[in-house]
Amino acid sequence: MRLGIDLGGTKIEIIALSDDGAALLRRRVATPHNDYRQTLHAIAGLVRDAEAELGQAVSTGIGTPGALSRATGRLKNSNSVALNGQPILQDLGTLLQREVRISNDANCFALSEATDGAAAGAPVVFGVILGTGVGGGIVVNGHILTGPNAIAGEWGHNPLPWPEARELPGPACYCGKHGCIETFLSGPGMMRQHQLETGATLASAEIVQRAEQGDPACESSLQTYEHRLARSLAHVINILDPDVIVLGGGMSNIERLYTAVPALWGNWVFSDRVDTRLVKNRHGDSSGVRGAAWL
Ligand SMILES: [Zn+2]
């Protein structure tokens, strides 16, 4: 049995998985707002309650936004800013009296889908979260590739590849650069691009829905999105050559991506053919917490 915890900006979720991946218990609480100490105690409370219910101490993994610096042992790059600079792994280990494993949410997503999800059995998996932000993680033979900088797979803040004139310099990103992949491929990115082209303010889900109904401006925005996603993934294929790319996050619900993007990405992949599969996640919103349990 394993415990997984997904530490998000608004909620903390816990799951207990049996060895065959069945969910034995699941619970969530609101994330204490901007308070590191309270966040630690909320996590510890969830673990203790779960173990009381399960009647045993259980191996525990945690998925967080951001990455744990190998050099300092402290969290960095988290959009939950109260966590940045904190030695969260050490503090939780002390609080829970055990070794805790930790990885970022995109890595947990990739691990979940590579273990018993849409990419099960594939040797090399690139997992992508296309949501309010854009993140990525790499799993090779069932193991997360972390890297010395704990940054492997994080391509959301690389520049959009093969940019067109209208894409330069690109929108300003919170990371300090312009034209990051995230500024184009996140949900808010699609919304902003549509606004830029048409002046209309529509949520990304509405743009997709209207495109399906034949609205030409929304169709154009969706095609632009597909073109950008195809370029961004072709860049990854040229470096990593994954067997499977699995999409998660809100934008992964756009069903036509799975045919439209592979029909395009051959334009930029330096190969006579592309056999990489692009698939939708199997575990949906549960992938983060499930992956944390598999850590
Ligand atoms: Zn950026």
- Cα 178 to ligand 1 centre (Å): 7
Per-residue pLDDT of 26-57, as tens digits, reads: 999 999 988 999 999 999 999 999 999 999 98
To which residue do tokens 């040229």 refer? 238
Residue 72 has phi, psi (to 5 degrees) of -110, -15
Q: Token digits for 130?
A: 């296309």
pTM, to two decimals: 0.94
Averaged pLDDT, 188-216? 97
- Cα 179 to ligand 1 centre (Å): 7
- Cα 175 to ligand 1 centre (Å): 4
pLDDT at 65: 83
Per-residue pLDDT of 144-178, as tens digits, reads: 999 998 899 999 999 999 999 999 999 999 889 99
- Cα 54 to ligand 1 centre (Å): 42
- Cα 153 to ligand 1 centre (Å): 14
- Cα 157 to ligand 1 centre (Å): 4
- Cα 226 to ligand 1 centre (Å): 20
- Cα 283 to ligand 1 centre (Å): 27
- Cα 232 to ligand 1 centre (Å): 14
Chain centre to alpha carbon of residue 269: 23
CA dihedral 169, 175, 180, 181 (to 10 degrees): -160
